[in-house]
Amino acid sequence: MVYGLSSSLPFIRGDATFDSVVNISDAVYILSFLFLGGPAPPCEDAADTDDRGNIQIGDAIYILNFLFIGGARPPAPFPEPGTDPTDDTLSCRGL
């Protein structure tokens, strides 16, 4: 019997759509959530691409920089799923 999901559910940093891949749709998802009233990310920790403990426009920009102009890779857990090595108030409930 499962009563709830652990906040330590494995995720990939930057995978805001929680589909196991980091691509442009993750940046669009974050921007939609922040500015268009789109749904909250199923895994807040994954959407916190820069691992600063919140979801902000910088997270979408971080993904775009990584994908298109050779910016820094997202912090762990990336590129393989894992748990968040940093302590913050974000959770990961999954789909």
pLDDT at 60: 98
Kindly state which CATH superfamily the domain 1-95 is placed in: Dockerin domain (1.10.1330.10)
Residue 8 reports pLDDT greater than 90: no
Tokens 């920790």, located at residue? 45
Greater model confidence, 32 or 95: 32
Which three-class secondary structure state does DSSP give residue 65?
Answer: helix
pTM: predicted TM-score of the whole model, two decimal places: 0.89
